Chains A and B, each alone.
Chain A
């Protein structure tokens, strides 16, 4: 039994909290779900191992890696690392702003630097743990086919987690010092979202500009990039070599990452408490919203729509999520621009991307408007029929979708009017379908629980994703002038119908 207040004692406490948090994320707080979730995870793991086997089995026996392999492995590792950095930044931001136990900890006689040293280490572990879970099927296949040397890949993932956490702490603290605790909350969320998306988008953008394709692998496999890359003996390839089983490179990478994490803990843990206190102070500051004139006239439905739009615009988390959705629209926009320049028929590719993005964005917005009502009693006690309330909220969501996607559709219309009509119909269908799913699976939650919306109903999450994919496929086939689009459309409708049948609204 470790002494209270010691590093081991604090680590045990943090592990317990992290474990329960993770379990509640997975099971949405319902114990009976655990068995189903475990069974689903096992099936998922088996399927992922099969996918990994079909993709990687033939690469497991490679000897000395060539430059092309090193470029591809490094590119994939950087992609994963950027996502880990994004996740790390989000965790650090939450550690500053959203941990309800900070008052208790900071008012206790336990050394704050110990607490935060443990918390930074836990962030590194959770980032690495999540990445390991996703990478495990691929590493296991390589282990099975190529031998023990591939075990090092797990150590590299751990090293990536450590460096991502160290950099995430450094970046967030730098933001804190540069722009202050009040602005950091929003800025860190946006930076995290941008970092998470930037590498993928950057590769796609380069591929579009160079090859006119959305495939990000095109750039990693291009002769130009391989020719420009450093010599295979360069130290820059050590992480890739470590992944590929080079023992010396692995030892160096692992040691360097451990040192970096230790330095980050030593440098930032002692001041972490001060930053957390400063962050807590921001909740007592006020934001002035000056508006001249009196009240604007509004019917109940108009008042509801206006309220939803105001809240959506003022929600920092949603702002970062929306920004991410819009960032993913950058490559298609580039493709659009290039299509205008080259006069090719690549525009058809854009239609499903827009439809898919609309479905996903509508799902998030619909959850916020329908389930994430912070004053449910107020709205329920208003003298407004329930149907009018729901209709106003749906109008608010679809209005926002129309506003975001109208410029893209208008741009497509300039080059290909028929594709624009198909895109508009697809966007409307995907948006309406995602909104309907959120309506059928609505729960009562606070808007701040948006992060956990996907755990409240896995079924709704999957239905929303499949529905968006089906509508995107329908739009793509229609834009390509194929009659099979009718079949894809029927599948999309069937998905929606099936979801309605099994939804709580029906049962």
Chain B
């Protein structure tokens, strides 16, 4: 007897989005539960547009998006229940404290107060924000704001975390904390999809890496598979990435 395959954490098929020119052009992707997937691409390749469509912030012109089997376009509220979105610009309120912010986010996701309270205290401690938990965010540094936003994304225990350049502006210590938090989520069975310009982060953290150019996925796989595809052998991800992108540009 063959067991039914579990639904992918994220399944994207035939995604199209056009602004004044095509931004996403027939994009397909599957991310499994328990996987950290890094999406790489040059500026303007369409990475953020894709992630915004997955998060329900943009409506695609065509294509399908499924989050843990739920059609995100047909039932966005159910899909959103399972996901969290963290952008490179932290989305927090200057006049709220981190604790109040987490209380607000927990309210939005309908988490009961006792559970939210325990999770918030854990996250605040884990991310080194305990000392500032009851201070308004208006005086916080970029790194602290990013950590508050990340805590907000995790307080409702999402199964799929979408991050757009999550390590921008973080110091080395904070970046390590965030990476540890993300790995922990993946180990617990969640899925993480992130964009980054720091190739070393993708190299060290990602289970699989996707390379995108001109709104299309031009290559994906493990680091070794990408090296092989680019014919670069044992070189760095940077060399492989540049070769793949240059090859695509030449083909276009």
Q: Do A and B bind each other?
A: yes
- The answer, among A284, A289, A295, A379, for a CB contact under 8 Å with B97, is A289
C-alpha gap A298/B116 in the complex (Å): 11
Nearest-Cβ distance from residue A269 to partner chain B, whole angstroms: 29
**A384, CB-defined interface residue at 8 Å:** yes
Closest chain A residue, CB of each to CB of B92: A375
In the complex the two chains form, is A286's CB within 8 Å of B100's CB? Answer: no
In the assembly, what is the distance between CA of A91 and CA of B113, in Å? Answer: 44
Report how far A295 CA is from B102 CA in the complex, Å.
Answer: 9
Which of A283, A285, A306, A384 is the one whose CB lies under 8 Å from B104? A306
Q: Is A66 an interface residue (CB 8 A)?
A: no
Let me know if B28 is at the binding interface, CB within 8 A: no
- CA A281 – CA B142 in complex, angstroms? 16
Whether, in the assembled complex, B176 has its beta carbon less than 8 Å from a beta carbon of chain A, the answer is no
Stretch at the interface among A309-317, A343-351, A429-437: A309-317
For the complex, give the distance between the alpha carbons of A291 and B112 in Å: 19
The answer to whether A375 and B113 touch across the interface, beta carbons within 8 angstroms, is: no
Beta-carbon nearest neighbor of A374 in chain B: B93
Taking CB atoms and an 8 Å cut-off, the chain B residues in 96-114 that contact chain A are 96-97, 99-100, 102-110, 112-114
Instruction: Tell me if B83 is interfacial: C-beta within 8 Å of chain A.
Output: yes
| Beta-carbon contact of B85 and A377 below 8 Å | yes
B100 touches A299 (CB 8 A): no
With CB as the reference atom, state the residue of chain B lying closest to A294.
B117
- Is the beta-carbon distance between A283 and B138 smaller than 8 angstroms? yes
A289 touches B85 (CB 8 A): no
A302 at the binding interface (Cβ < 8 Å): yes
Flag the segment in B10-18, B38-46, B73-81 that touches A: B73-81
Complex-state Cα separation, A103 to B57, whole angstroms = 35
Residue in A302, A310, A378, A384 with the greatest tally of chain B CB atoms within 10 Å: A378
* Contact code string B107-148 (vs A, CB < 8 Å = 1, else 0): 111101110110010000000000010111011000000000
User: Using Cβ atoms and an 8 Å threshold, which residues of chain B touch A310?
Assistant: 95-96, 100
Tell whether A299 pairs with B107 under 8 Å between CB atoms, given A378-B152, A382-B80.
yes
- Cα A290 to Cα B135 with chains together (Å): 8
B84 in contact (CB, < 8 A): yes
Contacting pair A287 B85 (CB below 8 A): no
- B108–A304 touching, CB < 8 Å: yes
Give chain A residues whose Cβ lies under 8 Å from the Cβ of B97: 289
B-side contacts of A111, CB under 8 Å: none
Residues of B within 8 A of A376 (CB): 91
Interface centre among A287, A302, A311 (most CB of B within 10 A): A287
Would you call B93 and A383 a contact (CB within 8 A)? no
Contact string against B for A residues 372-394, beta-carbon threshold 8 Å, 1 for contact and 0 otherwise: 00111111111111000000000
Chain A, Cβ-Cβ closest to B132: A286
**A interface residue numbers (CB < 8 A to B):** 283-291, 294-300, 302-304, 306-307, 310-311, 314-315, 374-385
List 5 contacting pairs A-B, 8 Å CB cutoff, sorted by A: A287-B136, A295-B99, A295-B120, A298-B113, A381-B83
Known contacts A291-B100, A384-B77, A384-B108; 15 further A-B pairs (Cβ under 8 A) = A286-B135, A288-B134, A289-B135, A289-B136, A291-B134, A295-B103, A303-B107, A375-B91, A378-B85, A379-B108, A380-B56, A380-B57, A381-B84, A383-B78, A383-B109
4 closest cross-chain pairs (CB), A and B: A303-B107, A298-B107, A375-B91, A382-B108
